[in-house]
Amino acid sequence: MPPAYLDCVSNYYEQLKKAGQLPYQLSEPTPSRLKKACIDVFCQRYDRKDEEALRNFFCYSIGAKLTPRMIENFDNDKFKPLVKFLRNPKIRTDRKNVELLAWLIDFPKRPYDYREDYTRPIPIPGESGAEPPAGREQPSTWRQQWWRFPAFHRAAFGIGMVTIILLVQYLITSNRLPEKCMYWATDHYEPISCNEHSGDALVIAFDAERFHSFKKINRPDTITRKSIGHVWYAKINKEEVQFFTGGGFHPENPNLRLKPITDYMIRKYVTHRMAVGE
């Protein structure tokens, strides 16, 4: 977890707290209060973009759905690291705790995205630079503002934009602007310039959807029958089977196609091995 993201989320929390925009469960946190806040937020504004953060924190299987009852039955002790962090932001904490906090306070730039700039503080609602409160007169559209400029300024702006576009095209075609690629790093993809190398890792063209959604499942015990249609696997040898959150080909062996998981594979390589303690 990059420190800039952690600090940005923490600063956003502190701004909301000073402005009195937090419920008491978050401004004076305890494990039980954070659990109550999770239930309230889940019921009020569930968003699919938060699914991975919620699954990582509440440890439910891929394909399953989180419910308020599951949150209610969740172990209170799991919230203690986040409580310690909120009371002392100098203490570093796990990524799952930071993402849960980002979800609880409705942090605008969540989840973490390496393309975002987290070095600048993000204004909270009601501050300068934030979205205007409901009911306040909205500014005129950019089209209305555009035609208020003199014709000479509009023409100069248009020429400048064309020049910039042509310059970018020139840099790309002359290979002065490196293309973006990615490589497999143990259980996820990492971005890299196409002109660089990372050991023996295979460098491939950047695929935004696969970059964000394709992961190796390191905890097969989270796989259940509800994971059918959401999990794929590859048999590395007679004993080793690897599981992933997407299909296609194996990230380290392009000749090995991933197959959708079946009830038989779950019983043989997940349920059975858990029963015998492998």
Reading the block at residue 190, the tokens are 């990492």
| Residue 9 sits in the same domain as residue 68 | yes
pLDDT of residue 66 exceeding 80:
yes
d(Cα 8, Cα 86) in Å, to the nearest integer? Answer: 13
- pLDDT for residue 62: 78
| Residue 245 sits in the same domain as residue 234 | yes
* CA atoms within 13 Å, Cβ hemisphere of 65: 6
Residue 94 within a domain = yes
Provide mean pLDDT across the span 63-91: 88
Per residue in 104-132, pLDDT (tens digit) is 999 988 888 888 888 888 888 876 555 54
Amino acid type, 93? T
Per residue in 99-108, pLDDT (tens digit) is 999 999 999 8
d(Cα 266, Cα 233) in Å, to the nearest integer? Answer: 10
| Residue 161 sits in the same domain as residue 226 | no
How far is residue 79 from each of residues 26, 103, 245, measured CA to CA in Å? 12, 14, 27
| Residue 189 sits in the same domain as residue 266 | no
Residue 160 within a domain = yes
Domain containing 154 equals 148-173
pLDDT of residue 165 exceeding 90:
no
Q: Environment class of residue 82 by beta-carbon count within 10 Å: exposed (0-12), middle (13-18) or buried (19+)?
A: buried
Per residue in 207-232, pLDDT (tens digit) is 989 999 999 999 998 999 999 999 99
| Residue 83 sits in the same domain as residue 18 | yes
| Residue 162 sits in the same domain as residue 191 | no
Amino acid type, 169? Q
- pLDDT for residue 137: 45
140 or 155: which carries more pLDDT confidence?
A: 155
| Residue 186 sits in the same domain as residue 156 | no
Residue 72 within a domain = yes
